[in-house]
Amino acid sequence: METVDTIKINFNPNNLLVLNAILALLMFGIALDIHKKDFDLLWKNPKPAIVGMMGQLIILPLVTVGLVFVFNPPPSVALGMIAISACPGGNNSNYTTHLAKGNTALAITTTSISVIACILTMPLYIWLGAKIVPNMASLNREVSINPFDMFKIVGGLILTPLVIGMTINSRLPKVADKIRKPFKILSLILFFGLIFGALAANLNNILQFVGKVFTIVLVLNALAFAVGYGLGKINKLPEADCRALTFETGIHNVTLALIIIFNFFDGLGGMALVAAWYGIWDLVTGFSLATWWGRKGLVTEGV
């Protein structure tokens, strides 16, 4: 009898590469909105980025470990939760921040820092997670991640399109103005088309086992959003910064998680299911919240 620990989620590695390319295109589109002066301001005031890193790299992983012991899920599901919490912010976190009238430059900077940091932190957290997850030995999986391979993914997905997009925006502003909107629309259409198409190929497994991860993903996602926004408020950051940190902490690079799961865990069922469902759910919650905040607008500080 199949269990969530024994199933394998089929996701074509070629599709993952295409998905990476689409996310890189989306990152490029967002970068067309960013100016060097935005980062100059952040260098003068590093506190928001430091707060964001605390949330992503320290507090959220600790909260996730707490959830593992509260829910006591199957070991593959628990390891999937830890893998998601260790992932850097996803490209869509930058786009949703933009829609929500948040500090997009802060979101881009925080994403860039977190994806570089995850070269070390993600393998470490998954390795530590495997040590504390109950019954992990029953999965017979060795935790081994090549940081250099992850660095190549990070560099191609985030840093390269960021630099290219900002360069065009700086040196060819008229070109940037012409391609900005259609580029974003096209990349989003391609993104949604591929991710939902790939998930449809695993519909049977998703329908059969999604109940085992639905509540866990819902709670984990809600707490991730709460950690980002709460840290911003506790540290008395402007509302635009709080919104940016909300999406940076709540929306994760699920593609990176899936690549690791398929490359190093042979598509381990519970891990892949958590990642796949989180990828759907954080889009739903992220875009819903961004739309609501965008319509609400920002209240001028001190007024």
- Asked if the structure places residue 257 within a domain, the reply is yes
Of the candidates 171, 183, 194, 160, the residue with the CA atom closest to the CA atom of residue 30: 183
Strand, coil or helix: what is 236? coil
pTM of the model: 0.79
Please, are residues 279 and 253 in contact by the beta-carbon 8 Å criterion? Answer: no
User: With 90 as the cut, is the pLDDT of residue 155 above it?
Assistant: no
- Asked if the structure places residue 192 within a domain, the reply is yes
Q: How far apart are CA 268 and CA 11, in angstroms?
A: 11
Q: How far apart are CA 216 and CA 193, in angstroms?
A: 26
Range of the domain at 110: 13-288
- Asked if the structure places residue 299 within a domain, the reply is no
- Asked if the structure places residue 5 within a domain, the reply is no
CATH number for 86 = 1.20.1530.20
Task: Identify the band that residue 91 occupies on the pLDDT scale cut at 50, 70 and 90.
Answer: low
Handedness of CA 259, 166, 42, 248 (dihedral sign): negative
- Asked if the structure places residue 278 within a domain, the reply is yes
Write out pLDDT tens, residues 55-89.
Answer: 999 999 999 999 998 988 888 888 899 999 998 88
- Asked if the structure places residue 25 within a domain, the reply is yes
- Asked if the structure places residue 293 within a domain, the reply is no
Please, are residues 97 and 247 in contact by the beta-carbon 8 Å criterion? Answer: yes
Per-residue pLDDT at 133: 79
Per-residue pLDDT at 113: 81
At 303, the amino acid letter reads: V
- Asked if the structure places residue 3 within a domain, the reply is no
Higher per-residue pLDDT: 44 or 194: 44
Per-residue pLDDT at 302: 44
Q: How many domains does the chain have?
A: 1
Q: Which residue has the tokens 């989180």?
A: 278
What mean pLDDT do residues 90-110 have?
84
Q: Which residue has the tokens 């074509």?
A: 12
Higher per-residue pLDDT: 94 or 184: 94
Higher per-residue pLDDT: 196 or 163: 163
Count CB atoms within 10 A of the CB of residue 154: 23
Q: 252 forms bridges with which residues in the sheet? A: 89
Q: 67 forms bridges with which residues in the sheet? A: none
